[in-house]
Amino acid sequence: MRIKGPIFIETIFLLIAFSIYFFSGNVFFIYNFAFIGTSVAVGVFLTQNGYKFGRNIIMLAVGSYILIYVGILGRENLLLSGFWYYLFLGVFEAAVVHYLIAKIAGPFIFGRGWCGYACWTAMILDLLPYKTPANERKNWGYVRYVLFASILCLVSALFIFKVNHLDNVLFYMFVIGNVIYYVLGIFLAYKLKDNRAFCKYVCPITVFLKMSSYFSLLRVKVNRDKCNECGKCMKRCPMDVEILNNSRKRKNGTECILCLNCVMDCPKKAISI
């Protein structure tokens, strides 16, 4: 039974929860990060110990909580547009905290674990039938940078032109943006026969994630002494990561979402986190 990784995750999230509470005085952050951290830890534990749908269940739980409770009911724009909005206001609100922990600083520890266990867009995309890529990867990565810059420019324009009722505008941007993401993500999944096509080519959040996840402490590694190079791990990887190479420079190395398909499928138990 593999327990070291989940304990590490739980400990880090609890430290984050109490640290933010100490500085902000807002008890919500304890409940929020304790719930997310415990859920992710349980998801990693279930997945690396062979429970096939453990990660999907956790993704639905965490993703729904953030999307519905924090986002829709709490009227917090947790998309990239919300991050820029609150950042420009200089307000330490949910979107800024969320991005700082999950997508800017957090990946130095967890890599792109957010994408594998908490993303409310991917929680739906991962239920589609194309769990492993059926076609060769496209050279469309530039799209994410165009979208990233476009969102920054759009939010900047809202401030420059002093648009009224910005809170309402940002909330509707959150709702409409999520609808667009779901429609586009599902379309690309079926068109390219790849559930994670949206993540690879479109998602603007990866601009942050790719930079910090390169240095991630929590990484999938292969024990070369045990490995027989059967290639099952490479075939099952939804993000086309060169798993058999332990170097940080491995192909698509910053895109590992810690789904642990490779860990579960390795016949020699040569892969671990």
Instruction: List the domain range (segments joined by +) for residue 207.
Output: 78-213
Q: Encode the chain (273 residues) as per-residue pLDDT tens digits.
A: 567 778 888 898 999 889 988 888 889 889 988 999 899 888 888 887 778 788 899 999 999 999 999 999 999 999 999 999 999 998 877 789 889 988 999 999 989 989 999 999 999 999 999 998 888 889 998 999 999 999 999 999 999 999 999 999 999 999 999 999 999 999 999 999 999 999 999 999 999 998 899 999 988 899 988 998 888 888 889 999 999 999 988 999 999 999 989 988 888 889 988
Is 204 found in the same domain as 151? yes
End position of a domain, from candidates 192, 213, 234? 213
Q: What pLDDT is recorded for position 242? A: 92
Is 155 found in the same domain as 93? yes
Q: What pLDDT is recorded for position 107? A: 92
Residue 64 within a domain = no
Sign (positive or negative) of CA dihedral 184, 186, 188, 191: negative
Cβ atoms < 10 Å from Cβ of 46: 19
Cβ atoms < 10 Å from Cβ of 66: 23
Residue 241 within a domain = yes
Is 147 found in the same domain as 174? yes
Is 173 found in the same domain as 120? yes
CATH of the domain at 243: 3.30.70.20
Residue 40 within a domain = no
End position of a domain, from candidates 213, 230, 248? 213
Is 256 found in the same domain as 194? no
Is 205 found in the same domain as 226? no
Q: What pLDDT is recorded for position 2? A: 67
Q: What pLDDT is recorded for position 6? A: 85
Residue 257 within a domain = yes
- Structural domain total, the chain: 2
CA distance 235 to 111: 21
Q: What pLDDT is recorded for position 25? A: 85
CA triplet 35, 37, 41: central angle to 5 degrees?
120
